[in-house]
Structure 1
Amino acid sequence: MMENDSKCYLELNRNRNRRTFGQTDEETDKRFQTCILRNLGTAAASVQEPIRNLQTGDKLHGYTVQKTVEVPELLLTAVTLEHDKTGAQHLHVARDDSNNTFGVLFRTTPMDDTGVPHILEHTTLCGSRKFPVRDPFFKMLNRSLATFMNAMTASDWTVYPFSTQNKQDYRNLMSVYLDAVFYPQLRELDFKQEGWRLENENPDDKTSPLIFKGVVYNEMKGVFSNAQDIYRQAAQNKLLPSHTYGVVSGGDPKAITDLTWDHLKNFHATHYHPSNAKFMTYGNFPLEEHLQFIDDNYLSSFDRISVNTSVPNETRWNQSVSSHISCMSDPMAPDPAKQTTISASYLLSDITDTFESFVLSILCTLLTDGENSPFYQSLIVPNIGSDYSPVLGYDGYSKEATFSVGLQGIHPDDVSKVEQIISDTFDQVIKEGFEQKRIDALLHSIELSLKHQTSNFGLGLLLNMSSVWNHDGDILRSLEVNKLVTKFKETLQSNPQFLQQKVKQYFKDNHHKLTLTMSPEENYEARRSEEEVERLKLHVDSLTVEDKDIIYHRGVELKEKQMQVEDMSCLPTLRVSEIDRKIIQEPIHVQNIDGVQVQSSEQPTNEVTYIRMISDLSGLTPDLQSYVPLFTEVITEMGAGSMDYRQLSQEAELHTGGLDADTHVVTMYDNNDLVQQGVVFSSYCLDRNLDKMLELWTEIFCRSNIRDIERLRTLIQGEAANLASSITSAGHSYAMTHSASKLTQAAKIKEMYDGMTQVATMKSLAEGDDAALHQVLEKLESIGRHVLNKNNFRLSVNSTPTQMSKSLSSIQNFIKAIPGTCSTDGVFSKDDGFQCTEGMTQFELPFSVNYVSKSVKGVQYSHPDYEPLRILARMLWAKYLHREIREKGGAYGSGVVNAPGVISFFSYRDPNSMKTLQVFDDSVRWACDGKFTDEDIDEAKLSVFQQIDKPITPGRAGMTYFVNRISDELRQSKRDQIFNTNRSHLLDVAHRYLGEGRQASAVTFLGPSNQDVTEKWNVIKS
């Protein structure tokens, strides 16, 4: 549970990633694949030595050492311990990483749809024995330098993790977290605020109608407004129906209103006990200090109990099962007649079998991932549907793993056809096996992923292992990736039919198979709304006059509680004075190589080289602008030179971590009217593969091949489906992007590239016939002629000092090989035709909640008011919006974002719209009236430093200058401004930029039909 849009309910968000092992962006790192882990730095012997010296049976502060293991490929040493008195399990991972992580995990196994573990996760963080203030978790977000803070509910576990680089901060947060989980107050009013309650629509008016309210209630209404989430949930519930996986751990809104406060407290008593707990500590802080603190302050007060939370294996079916569910119609679907989804899901092996799970994750990846996989060729290429089904690939979330494959966006008449294709594809794999090149590419991706560095390795490690550890699997064995790879290679060498036999065992001969179909039902949302009205009526009709009077007074009591000014002195905090006043510099060297500006940064990249290139779009004709996002999607996916798209994909998987392209829009740091547009190309590889990676880029730049119309159709259909499905999970981003687009040229371009305009553009392209697609091809080729050269082109490289000379030599050869005659530092241009416009827009969508945004014109990055506005934005969220929009209004999240040129207010999964808009305005009046303290200012500054001081991986060092042209000197001056900002500065910028009528503003709603929207609004119906 966290500020803004972070998700605390994980169970509905799995299986979205169909990347290969080598593509390891920040979201991919959070996937629950036990066989792939990431690397962050060079391990120092001094950090690991004390752990290496531990022996089984050693005693440490009330714990007994169970096992230690050194894992050279991950540059770490790990030890498992058991707490003698309670039986609590502890994993410590010693690694030379300053970004230390902590997590406590409980096995939480609900047996109904009330969402009790999810609501308990929220409610535990609303005050505890040592910290009896309202919502200490959210308050710590502004009293800490945490690089990550959250709490998450999965199907059968709940975890409370954080990461920080500051030792005192680590101890502060550990204290708050452990007090929250073991000694929560679990007040009834907090349960009603976070879970659900009946309350007068207007809490101050006893005669106003009673309605359902609650943070989780509205969050899950938002989740169940997404057809893909509905499908994912049903797939798990129906494949594993007999125990905890047969229910909705996050809560079905229909059942959430059956949850009682007593049930919540009982669930805590039976599940949140040290005997049911697992702790992880990670990083370069000493183990013994952690153990002593946990034992002295918490575990020593508990005795061991018998815990009955284990999950039995599912009874295997004797025959396969078919099922059908309904959903809402998707107004963004290119073809309204093709909105059916089908998948086949199979129950596999127990995830605690480490090697079998490793083999199955590789096997499932080979089956579905990448353009050369059998299912991509049989299901995606023929354009039967728009994309893979929402459930896809290997899923190690549950005690027994599952595999799913299917299609969405198909015609109902094609259901049996897809079923037959799935069966035939398995037969083909059993007969033909997999090409050795694909297996080699996957093993290369594993090798690369062990060296590729991410900014929060400890968190990824915890989340990767949570499911296996939750069911008492051997987590230390799962860390030893090289041993698993070696055993896999040996097994395959001794039995070349090994993988084919697994396909036959787990898919062809497996009777525990679910075929799930989903299609839209007319008036689906109306029916759900009617069900909610009827459910509400049943609750209200059962109330006496006295009951209603109690509800009214409780509503008033809750509101008064939410408005109370609390004494925060019990909460630990860091001080602004403790923060280093100097930035961490990112040394770079800029040189001209054959007319191209090349930026190099020598970094400890662990034998990996990172390349990024930006090609300028200045001068691109307006008729091509809206096609740039599509160009970035297809340019590395269509083939190049003598290679078709399959061959290019194969070579990329064999030698790189992926070839990526994306849009690039930045404003000049000292002038918001000057904008640079471009395409950024990026990739990374093992040092030994640099020449091959650049050879692939040379082929793309010199001999791109985007004439395959069927391939283009496949890519467009998939991208249109992805964009349409992203609106429910990122609605606040779409709302902010749209409202901001009215105010600055850069924001207008970003909206065209990444906003609702682009969603509509892709929908239109997906509806196009062959003639229309031929026109699209011509436009893409025109963009290619403009971009794929070294005119207005710059390049950056990050590699080790010993590799840099070789890297620069290879880059020089690449530059010589690509077309173009000259290069500049990139062109920043002004659109004299752009006019700032105010307005209000409502996108009417079949949702049950709203996403609200209001944007106000701001200042450029270098402006002396930028940092005061940044601090003000954090303070407005923490001290006003969170209370009014989340606690009182029941929305899942809210916030204020200060970006160059634009300040945007937003809410997320919000039952309100106009009321929230009023809260935005009220927050400004609160600031202008100076109703904040010096402590509030310091906390807001801490929150800003938390954002800007997050770890930067060696592969990304220097990117602030390369992308935005912001130097270390400018960064230092901005840091000084943060330290120097005072109360008068904040009052001044609040009045001048946010005060009524001071600056232009625009408003955007995404959500259901809104009776409060007047004729002054531009209503866009989907």
Structure 2
Amino acid sequence: ERERERERGVTDVLLISPGRLGSWRSRGSSAGERALQYTVGQKIHGFTVKEVTAVPDLFLTSVKLSHDATGAQYLHAARDDSNNLFSVQFRTTPMDSTGVPHILEHTVLCGSQRFPCRDPFFKMLNRSLSTFMNAFTASDYTMYPFSTQNAKDFQNLLSVYLDAVFFPCLRELDFWQEGWRLEHKTPTDPSSLLMFKGVVFNEMKGEFSDNERLYAQHLQNKLLPDHTYAVVSGGEPLAIPDLTWEQLKHFHATHYHPSNARFFTYGDLPLEQHLQQIEEEALSKFERAEPNTAVPPQKHWDKPRVDHVTCMPDALAPDPVKQNTLCMSYLLGDITDTFEAFTLSLLSSLMISGPNSPFYKALIEPGIGSDFSSSVGFDGSTRLASFTIGLQGMAEADTETVKHIIAQSIDDIIATGFEEEQIGALLHKIEIQMKHQSTSFGLALASYIASCWNHDGDPVQLLKISENVSRFRQCLKENPRYLQDKVQHYFKDNTHRLTLTMSPDERFLEKQAEAEEQKLQQKIQNLSHADHKDIYEKGMIMRPGMTRIISLQLLAVQSTTIYAFVFILVFQGIILSSSCLDRNLPDMFQLWSDIFNSPHFDDEQRLRVLVMMSAQELSNGISYSGHMYAMTSAARTLAPTADLQETFGGMDQVKFMKRIAEMTDLASVLRKLPRIKRHLLNPENMRCAVNATPQKMSDAAGEVERFMGNIAANRKERKPVRPTVVEVRPASSRSHRSPSSSCQEPHFKPCQMKTYFQLPFNVNFVSECVRTVPFSHADYASLCILARMMTTKFLHGEIREKGGAYEGGATMGGGGLFSFYSDRDPNSTQTLSAFRGGVEWARAGKFTQQDIDEAKLSVFSAVDAPVAPSDKGLGHFLNGITDEIKQRYRERLFAVTDKNLIDVAGRYLGVGQQTCGVAILGPENESIRKDPSWVVK
């Protein structure tokens, strides 16, 4: 939510000009122009240039290279963007569901030859100005990307990443922690029961608690059953304990070789420096190999197949008797045929996107299900693409009806095709997306090309979007039935079609628990006395969090000065936004006028469809973002804005939408909408911000004034409203409006509450929130540093390394709330003890000056993160955060000392010092249920 305080009756308009968008084109020596100077055949630090291509659509120049000795592939995207990105990806094609590529992804980041310390990846999070650091495991590749705005930081991170992926330690203890292990329930008690532990093991238990992801996994496994796509690359929980340490090391040796690698760099840093460092620190130590990792084409079926799977019941489903899913999935063409993939992706959007699409009208409007299945649409993530169509939240009795509707809709599309206006709107959307500049453009490019490039497709061809659009238009011109012929070929005549249904099983979780116990007992039965002793001893070694630390030797990061962007919330309300191409500016404001002046609140069926979709989406999102729901619930009794956040975006909202979805008559809701509209869309309470190029700023200002006058004239009072125009440049230091920590409601009284939500999950989501001080307070900076330091130096070890949760830590919010959290956690009350332990650790001053410095650097990487052109000036407009306020906050961060941290830990976080809230989302917990201090929901 955004909180704002302002005087009624005054409408402000902020006009923001972000400067020269795409200004590299006017410079004499841009990154793109420098890259055009490379020539095909040129040798650079062991690489040979294969292709140099200008891509004006994306304002970049691509340089394609190959490594002479190993054959490693390399693509550089030169663009005037200071947020430089590096990525290396390997084709990883497992043939079982032990999760070996996923566990390897975790384990290679646990120490390497040059940096053998414990978890250099997490240490670099604190010693870097990175804007992004992570790793991903897909079905058939593993990617390691990072981005940063600092050149020295880029070199440091590149050293760590190269050493991690090519020369990891792969220690057995790291495998035990990140993958799976047997450990006593009470590690210090060898007589206590043994249980499975491990970060990936618990992460995948959480993944398989999500019915949508469970269904999507089954869909892929069954549609592509002949090779790597038939297994779970992330790891099926009951198969993970079959993986051995030796198998992990062998998988690394056969898959993490430069001959199986694809390097991608992006930004304005010189390509030569990247190539030299990669060659000297990694590739020069390898010879060419022939990794057997290619994915063969799936054999085409001669007749369609039908299958069925089960899932856990959804207690928060919009309609408890409608919990079935049905989809038809069609195998399409090879994704390396980039134009065909582009065409099929467009065709998919035309068939399912928006309320005017054929499948929306046929499947969603009748209310047969709550929403499309999350798997619906074009999927180009596997070597052969697929298209899926179907529903979730439907009754089992409607199975045949849905099958018939899908078949009939395909026939209708073949017969009538698509309206020219629909096709034009979709191509227009692509044009807008090409021109939109995001802060993570490099990461988006790396992800966009990953799958096609992984199977030796041409990544540069993927980037030539305008060329594909022009070719598509030409195909339509030459053959008006071009799209209809595609539908006939890929859908009507396609015998490689899977119809997969899913229904809830009341004993689903019970069966899973029984299977896990059976697997556990099998493992235990094969243990010798020496094995039991080894398990206990290694469990004890892991208790201190593997303290065999060796200093991480890195060059000092050079300082950089970037405008900070601090976002705090200063008034209650809603934010509506839109964007358009310059030529469509009047049309965009006409649409806004229509929304304000002529809304339609008389279509009950349309409202029912939207309610069902919203309720289903909220229910599905809990397992994915459970820790966020826990944090929101824990905070609700601490501040009025937090209470609003729970009402509009927390578990309260999930249950509220479920109640609305269950209503048989929505007429009463429809009657309330005009009153809500009059309250919310009131021009007297409205402020506008316009972000435009300098050339279009005067036009935009004029459109805003006309828009404001138009909507004011249509109000019953006919009272003219003239907007107050305030010009503020992004770097302006003039005062606009004082920030406020929250809307202070005199009747709100903070109180403590512990809430437990029993949900059908295998893991917990835990949070504790403490009411502290707002952004404007002098202690706020110390609490931010404390949260970061406590996360990396204490909570990470206790909650993830020892506890086996996917993630855990602390964060300080702008609304004055200090929040602890854990994600996909096998523990609950033990994690609450870890939160308290973190406070005591801080109060005792068990940290070093280096710990403080690293936490400061990590916080500054967020404070100084890049800001998209479309967002420039909005911090000032929405919250009144001037450059002076930003700078004061930065100075306070710099000034934080060890005494400040010890002081705020005790004064705000100590037991009994401040009001706190606690929330747990998770499986049945009898001890909590019997504890009267908990509110059970």
1:1011 aligns with 2:904: no
1:779 aligns with 2:695: no
Could you say which residue in structure 1 is the equivalent of 2:512?
528
Q: Residues 255 and 705 of structure 1: is their aligned pair in 2 closer, same or farther, counting only changes over 3 Å?
A: same
Of 65, 86, 92 in structure 1, the residue corresponding to residue 49 of structure 2 is: 65
1:993 aligns with 2:905: no
Of 583, 590, 596 in structure 1, the residue corresponding to residue 563 of structure 2 is: 583
1:863 aligns with 2:777: yes
- The answer to whether the 8 A contact 2:568-2:775 is kept is no
What amino acid does structure 2 have at the position aligned with 1:981? Answer: V
Of 684, 701, 707 in structure 2, the residue corresponding to residue 814 of structure 1 is: 707
Could you say which residue in structure 1 is the equivalent of 2:131?
147
User: CA–CA distance in 1 between the matches of 2:902 and 2:778?
Assistant: 14
Deviation at 1:869, TM superposition (A): 0.4
Could you say which residue in structure 2 is the equivalent of 1:968?
883
Deviation at 1:567, TM superposition (A): 3.9
Q: Residues 294 and 493 of structure 1: is their aligned pair in 2 closer, same or farther, counting only changes over 3 Å?
A: same
1:892 aligns with 2:802: no
Could you say which residue in structure 2 is the equivalent of 1:291?
275
Deviation at 1:666, TM superposition (A): 6.8
User: CA–CA distance in 2 between the matches of 1:318 and 1:278?
Assistant: 36
Could you say which residue in structure 2 is the equivalent of 1:626?
none
Could you say which residue in structure 1 is the equivalent of 2:873?
958
User: CA–CA distance in 1 between the matches of 2:856 and 2:102?
Assistant: 31
What amino acid does structure 2 have at the position aligned with 1:677? Answer: Q
User: CA–CA distance in 1 between the matches of 2:126 and 2:424?
Assistant: 47
- The answer to whether the 8 A contact 1:840-1:1016 is kept is no
Give the secondary-structure state (helix, strand or coil) at the position aligned to 2:294.
Answer: coil
Q: Residues 569 and 333 of structure 1: is their aligned pair in 2 closer, same or farther, counting only changes over 3 Å?
A: closer
1:344 aligns with 2:328: yes
What amino acid does structure 2 have at the position aligned with 1:144? Answer: S
- The answer to whether the 8 A contact 1:844-1:1019 is kept is no
Of 380, 401, 416 in structure 2, the residue corresponding to residue 396 of structure 1 is: 380
Q: Residues 584 and 904 of structure 1: is their aligned pair in 2 closer, same or farther, counting only changes over 3 Å?
A: closer
Taking structure 2 as the reference length, the TM-score comes to 0.94
User: CA–CA distance in 1 between the matches of 2:552 and 2:922?
Assistant: 40
Deviation at 1:829, TM superposition (A): 5.1
User: CA–CA distance in 1 between the matches of 2:33 and 2:702?
Assistant: 40
User: CA–CA distance in 2 between the matches of 1:805 and 1:493?
Assistant: 39
Deviations 1:634-660 (Å, cap 9, x if unpaired)?
Answer: xxxxxxxxxxxxxxxxxxxxxxxxxxx
Could you say which residue in structure 1 is the equivalent of 2:503?
519
Deviations 1:66-117 (Å, cap 9, x if unpaired)?
Answer: 1111111111110111100000001011111100000000000000000000
Of 186, 206, 214 in structure 1, the residue corresponding to residue 170 of structure 2 is: 186
1:795 aligns with 2:711: no
What amino acid does structure 2 have at the position aligned with 1:885? Answer: I
What amino acid does structure 2 have at the position aligned with 1:223? Answer: E
Could you say which residue in structure 1 is the equivalent of 2:698?
805
Q: How does 1:654-673 map to 2 (within 5 A)?
A: 667-668=569-570
1:719 aligns with 2:703: no
- The answer to whether the 8 A contact 1:396-1:402 is kept is yes
- The answer to whether the 8 A contact 2:116-2:550 is kept is no
Of 829, 845, 863 in structure 2, the residue corresponding to residue 930 of structure 1 is: 845
Deviation at 1:1008, TM superposition (A): 0.4
Deviation at 1:569, TM superposition (A): 4.0
What amino acid does structure 2 have at the position aligned with 1:225? Answer: S
Deviation at 1:565, TM superposition (A): 6.7
Question: RMSD across aligned C-alpha pairs, in angstroms?
Answer: 1.6
- The answer to whether the 8 A contact 2:40-2:50 is kept is yes
Deviations 1:689-742 (Å, cap 9, x if unpaired)?
Answer: 111011011011111112110000000000000000000000000000011111
Q: Residues 762 and 47 of structure 1: is their aligned pair in 2 closer, same or farther, counting only changes over 3 Å?
A: same
User: CA–CA distance in 2 between the matches of 1:171 and 1:414?
Assistant: 58
Give the secondary-structure state (helix, strand or coil) at the position aligned to 1:952.
Answer: coil
Could you say which residue in structure 2 is the equivalent of 1:654?
none
Structure 1: give runs of 5+ residues left out of the alignment: 1-38, 587-664, 669-675
User: CA–CA distance in 2 between the matches of 1:477 and 1:583?
Assistant: 36
Could you say which residue in structure 2 is the equivalent of 1:761?
656
User: CA–CA distance in 2 between the matches of 1:518 and 1:538?
Assistant: 30
User: CA–CA distance in 2 between the matches of 1:550 and 1:41?
Assistant: 63
User: CA–CA distance in 2 between the matches of 1:708 and 1:870?
Assistant: 48
Give the secondary-structure state (helix, strand or coil) at the position aligned to 1:225.
Answer: coil
Of 119, 122, 132 in structure 1, the residue corresponding to residue 103 of structure 2 is: 119
Taking structure 1 as the reference length, the TM-score comes to 0.86
What amino acid does structure 1 have at the position aligned with 2:836? Answer: D
User: CA–CA distance in 1 between the matches of 2:215 and 2:461?
Assistant: 34
Of 729, 747, 752 in structure 2, the residue corresponding to residue 833 of structure 1 is: 747
1:55 aligns with 2:39: yes
- The answer to whether the 8 A contact 1:842-1:1017 is kept is no
Q: How does 1:434-513 map to 2 (within 5 A)?
A: 434-513=418-497
Give the secondary-structure state (helix, strand or coil) at the position aligned to 1:678.
Answer: coil
- The answer to whether the 8 A contact 2:640-2:743 is kept is no
What amino acid does structure 1 have at the position aligned with 2:277? Answer: F
Of 896, 904, 913 in structure 2, the residue corresponding to residue 981 of structure 1 is: 896
Deviation at 1:965, TM superposition (A): 2.0
User: CA–CA distance in 2 between the matches of 1:53 and 1:829?
Assistant: 57
- The answer to whether the 8 A contact 2:439-2:868 is kept is yes
What amino acid does structure 2 have at the position aligned with 1:781? Answer: P
Could you say which residue in structure 1 is the equivalent of 2:856?
941
Q: How does 1:260-299 map to 2 (within 5 A)?
A: 260-299=244-283
1:326 aligns with 2:310: yes
Could you say which residue in structure 2 is the equivalent of 1:4?
none
Q: How does 1:80-99 map to 2 (within 5 A)?
A: 80-99=64-83
Deviation at 1:571, TM superposition (A): 4.2
Deviations 1:766-808 (Å, cap 9, x if unpaired)?
Answer: 00012xx111112222110111221111000010111100100
What amino acid does structure 2 have at the position aligned with 1:837? Answer: C
Q: How does 1:156-167 map to 2 (within 5 A)?
A: 156-167=140-151
Deviation at 1:959, TM superposition (A): 1.1
User: CA–CA distance in 2 between the matches of 1:136 and 1:848?
Assistant: 30
User: CA–CA distance in 1 between the matches of 2:906 and 2:24?
Assistant: 49
Q: Residues 192 and 584 of structure 1: is their aligned pair in 2 closer, same or farther, counting only changes over 3 Å?
A: closer
Could you say which residue in structure 2 is the equivalent of 1:852?
766
Q: Give the fraction of aligned pairs with identical amino acids, expressed as a percent.
A: 51
User: CA–CA distance in 2 between the matches of 1:255 and 1:864?
Assistant: 52
User: CA–CA distance in 2 between the matches of 1:401 and 1:350?
Assistant: 6
- The answer to whether the 8 A contact 1:145-1:169 is kept is yes
What amino acid does structure 1 have at the position aligned with 2:563? Answer: I
After the TM superposition, which parts of structure 1 deviate over 6 Å for at least 4 consecutive aligned residues? 823-828
Could you say which residue in structure 1 is the equivalent of 2:8?
none
- The answer to whether the 8 A contact 1:40-1:452 is kept is no
Deviations 1:501-551 (Å, cap 9, x if unpaired)?
Answer: 000000000000000000001211011111111111111122122211111
Higher RCO structure, 1 or 2 (CA under 8 Å, sep 6+): 2
Could you say which residue in structure 2 is the equivalent of 1:110?
94
Structure 1 stretch 294-303 or stretch 212-221: which is displaced more? 294-303
Give the secondary-structure state (helix, strand or coil) at the position aligned to 2:298.
Answer: coil
What amino acid does structure 2 have at the position aligned with 1:227? Answer: N
Could you say which residue in structure 1 is the equivalent of 2:215?
231
Give the secondary-structure state (helix, strand or coil) at the position aligned to 1:975.
Answer: helix
Deviation at 1:434, TM superposition (A): 0.2
What amino acid does structure 2 have at the position aligned with 1:791? Answer: E
Give the secondary-structure state (helix, strand or coil) at the position aligned to 1:681.
Answer: coil
Could you say which residue in structure 2 is the equivalent of 1:605?
none
Of 869, 875, 887 in structure 1, the residue corresponding to residue 789 of structure 2 is: 875
- The answer to whether the 8 A contact 2:81-2:268 is kept is yes
1:564 aligns with 2:547: yes
Give the secondary-structure state (helix, strand or coil) at the position aligned to 2:576.
Answer: strand
- The answer to whether the 8 A contact 1:105-1:159 is kept is yes
- The answer to whether the 8 A contact 2:162-2:281 is kept is no
